[in-house]
Structure 1
């Protein structure tokens, strides 16, 4: 099984951002933590600050499932939403912080209705919960 882990804009700056919202781990730390927690799963990690690059990656992925932290694009990108809507894989949205307890503009979520599940507010554990969810769903097929 191969799972794509897609990180959106500014997630490459983890470790330098507000630790109260995003935790202390860097993006590399999170990717390593995911891989080490699930050593039997093949992961493809991707990060971009560019909306079109994220869409291109999603459209071209040869993975069995997707975990996406669209970052700020969650609140602004109808294009990423439309792309996710066309993909017929298990898709899970994650956020390190609880976007629903933050600024009003972060409560707008354009992708929540085109993914199978959302995990948020548990920092890196949100990713672990997402992968666990996918593994449980895939074992039921």
Structure 2
């Protein structure tokens, strides 16, 4: 099974940016741990601060993976283009967020991508990614049966 973990803008700053909200661990350090939790899964990771790169990644890579765990960062609340790219895929996408965005600023309460994702996990810190991978595995296994 192959899963793409795709991160949007500013997630390259994890461990430095607002540690009270996002934690003190870098995503790269967490990604190593994530791989150790799922040794039977081929995890791949991409991060971009550019909306077009995320759209292109979803379009070009969706047919190479069984599913995507996506934290679109700030583009969650603004990007019709990312929503449309997800809609064009035939694989499940799990939307994840480190913080509980519904407990934050009101502009973060709307997600353009949630309606086209298979599920949404938020508020569990970096463990949101672990839960996202688990959810994808379950969806993929159920689809194969």
TM-score (norm 1): 0.97
Match of 1:111 among 103, 110, 113: 113
Q: Does residue 10 in structure 1 map to residue 45 in structure 2?
A: no
> Could you list the runs of 5+ residues in structure 2 that have no partner in the other structure?
none
Moved over 3 A (4+): none
The CA RMSD measured in Å over matched residues stands at: 0.8
Encode CA deviations 1:17-72: one digit per residue, 9 max, x unaligned: 11221111101012112111101100110000000011111111111100000000
Gaps of 5+ in 1: none
TM-score, L = length of structure 2: 0.94
Asked if 1:89 corresponds to 2:91, the answer is yes
Partner Cα separation in structure 1 for residue 20 and residue 122 of structure 2: 14
Structure 2 counterpart SS, 1:46: strand
Q: Distance in 1 between matches of 2:130 and 2:68?
A: 13
Deviations 1:56-109 (A, max 9, x none): 111111111000000000011111011111111011000000001000100011
